Chain A
Amino acid sequence: MVEPFNSNPAISLEKLTKVYGQLGHLPVRKVTALSEVSLNVEKGSSVVLVGPNGAGKTTLIKILLGLVRPTSGSARVCGLSPHLPESRRHIGYVPETVKFPGFYKAIDVLQTAGELFSLPREELGLRSKQLLSFCGLEGWEHLEIRRCSKGMLQKLAFAQALINDPDILLLDEPFTGMDVVARKKFAEIVSGAKSKRGRTIILSTHILSDVVDLCDEVVILVAGKVHKVLPVVELTRSMAYVVTISGDANVSNEDEVEICGRLFYREGSVLKAQVSGASSLSSFMNCLGKLNISIQSIEPRSFNFALLFQHGEEGQ
């Protein structure tokens, strides 16, 4: 019996531990992927799991899907054990490595996913069309999977994850292998999916700059443990940005020039400078404004994990 979604937190983890390679008392090499992780994710919130490779992000997501069995502790998805197939009625999942049976066509993936959720045929047809259009795959529905590009597969994975209009979206490193343009496009699609009221998003990544606009909270995982839980706003305060202005501002035509106390370096026809922290960025922009220097772009840089962990420690 599925309990009403509203009555429980979306995700609830209590002292969750996963040790790989445990075979009874046999002397096999054990790897602790997660160690006593406790976490509650309220419905409607967006959480990003951050951590270096091997931090346990994928294991955590797979436990929520029932693909990996925890060694100890408990996990609940909408109050249900992930072991129960019913718990997955609430979930849409985008894996890190997207693979569907190679002989499938794009439309087959959506049809199969919809059939597994027992969607009525008419509704499934309509929703498949809408999702293909939403994810920018219109006109590609009859393309075989083995002929799809990485970006197309990722979009398709996202489309099939939305087929059941899920309450919880689990995205495991969805930006892996994408170029900057594709990442931005994909982030827009995720942002569109976030618009459903009450939908919970859990996203794992190590490119934090791509998801600062998508998530409310950051869970920092290090060596299988929750290092820190922070609001995204707090992190963006210490984030590094690259500010680009026109090269005309450097009248001396030198390769490096100091403006508003920052060192700009020339890159083709533009000048670029790096600024750390949201407050520094704000005062720097004011200064440039007073000098009538127009800003061409401000881009967040890939997040520096050392800085992130240092920040976490400072906060403790």
Chain B
Amino acid sequence: MVKKVSRYLNKPILRRVFVYGLLSPGGIMLGVITAAYIFVIVYLGAKGGSCGGCDVEGRRAILMPLLFISQWWLTLGLVGVYATEIVDFFQDDVLSFFLSKPVSRYSYFISVSAGAFLVGSVYLFFSGLLFEVLLLHKTGIWFWGTFAVVADHMFLNGALLAFCLFTFVLFRNRSIALIFPSVLVFVPIMLFPGYVFRSEEMISKSPLIISALAIFIIIAVGLTIQIFRNRDIS
């Protein structure tokens, strides 16, 4: 399976998209936001930790809203990067450049998506994941394993990417690709109190969320490839 997918992976495209995603204005902006949040989180976390009189609940009250703000901003930021920078790679004129070379459509789609996914993973890893582990450590609510946290973030990122590309390939409109996934799907997910505040109850449901997101990604990617494969590039 891995061999089959890697056969379709075009390394020059993957590398270009990854570097483009990181160094493009949207990517740099997201990097700055991420760095600022990491700083604030670490700073406040340290401050909370040195507060001898604070109990675990008190720390949680300070840090939990930050988790919400951080993830919400990063999610929107990622949508921004995908929609304004990565989605460029799916515009007809740019497609004409790449697909007039000996590259198949499957290979192109998989490589651009993988590159974009890597960009998102870098930011999510250094911000959301780092923060979450720090937060869980500070608050004493340990997730049932680092693996679950990684999977959660990866699938959230993947679902976001898949949905962005799906809406862009379907509607060929940058604004829809930006607004639709974030406002209609991810903001409600983020606002969902159980998810945002990571109650013990929701932590126990985490595998269910991961499975649901995985199924969503598979369907969205499959549909997107089908639409992309069959459409004319005008």
Contact = CB atoms under 8 A, between A and B. Distances in A.
Contacts of A99: 91, 93-94, 96-97
Nearest to B26: A103
Interface in A80-126: 85-86, 88-89, 91, 93, 95, 97-104, 108-109, 112-113, 115-117
A68 interface: yes
A186 to B, nearest CB: 19
Nearest to B107: A85
A275 B104 CA distance: 51
Nearest to B95: A67
A88 B97 contact: no
B94 A62 contact: no
A256 B232 CA distance: 55
B110 to A, nearest CB: 14
Contacts of A208: none
B103 interface: yes
A88 B101 CA distance: 6
Contacts of B25: 103
A160 to B, nearest CB: 8
A62 B96 CA distance: 9
Nearest to A94: B100
A100 B99 contact: no
A68 B94 contact: no
B16 interface: yes
A167 to B, nearest CB: 13
Given A68-B233, A86-B102, A115-B12, A102 B88 contact: yes
Nearest to B97: A100
Q: Do most interface residues of chain B lie in helix, strand or loop, or is the interface mixed?
A: helix
Interface string A15-44: 000001000000000000000000000000
A103 B20 contact: yes
B30 to A, nearest CB: 14
A224 to B, nearest CB: 15
Contact of A67 (B23, B85, B96): B96
A97 B93 contact: yes
Interface in B51-92: 85, 88-89, 91
A116 B12 contact: yes
Given A98-B93, A100-B94, A112-B12, A67 B88 contact: no
B24 A95 contact: no
A89 B23 CA distance: 30
Interface string B214-232: 0000000000000000101
A115 B104 CA distance: 15
A68 B100 contact: no
A85 B104 contact: yes
Contacts of B103: 85, 116
Interface residues of A, number: 30
A101 B10 contact: no
A114 to B, nearest CB: 9
Nearest to A2: B102
A101 B89 contact: yes
A49 interface: no
**Most chain B beta carbons < 10 A, residue from A66, A103, A115:** A103
A50 interface: no
A68 B32 CA distance: 41
Interface in B122-137: none
A100 B92 CA distance: 10
B102 A65 contact: no
B98 interface: yes
**Most chain A beta carbons < 10 A, residue from B91, B100, B103:** B100
A95 B97 contact: yes
Given A101-B94, A103-B23, A113 B101 contact: yes
Contacts of A88: 100-102
Given A67-B95, A103-B24, A85 B232 contact: no
B88 A101 contact: yes
Contacts of B234: 68
A199 B99 CA distance: 21
A89 B102 CA distance: 6
Given A85-B103, A116-B103, A20 B91 contact: no
A311 interface: no
B233 A67 contact: yes
A100 B94 CA distance: 5
A108 B103 CA distance: 18
B89 A66 contact: no
25 contacts: A20-B232, A62-B233, A65-B96, A67-B233, A68-B234, A69-B230, A69-B232, A88-B102, A89-B102, A93-B100, A95-B93, A95-B100, A97-B93, A99-B91, A99-B96, A100-B97, A102-B88, A103-B25, A103-B85, A104-B20, A113-B97, A116-B12, A116-B13, A117-B102, A160-B97
Interface of B: 10, 12-13, 16, 20, 23-25, 85, 88-89, 91, 93-104, 107, 230, 232-234
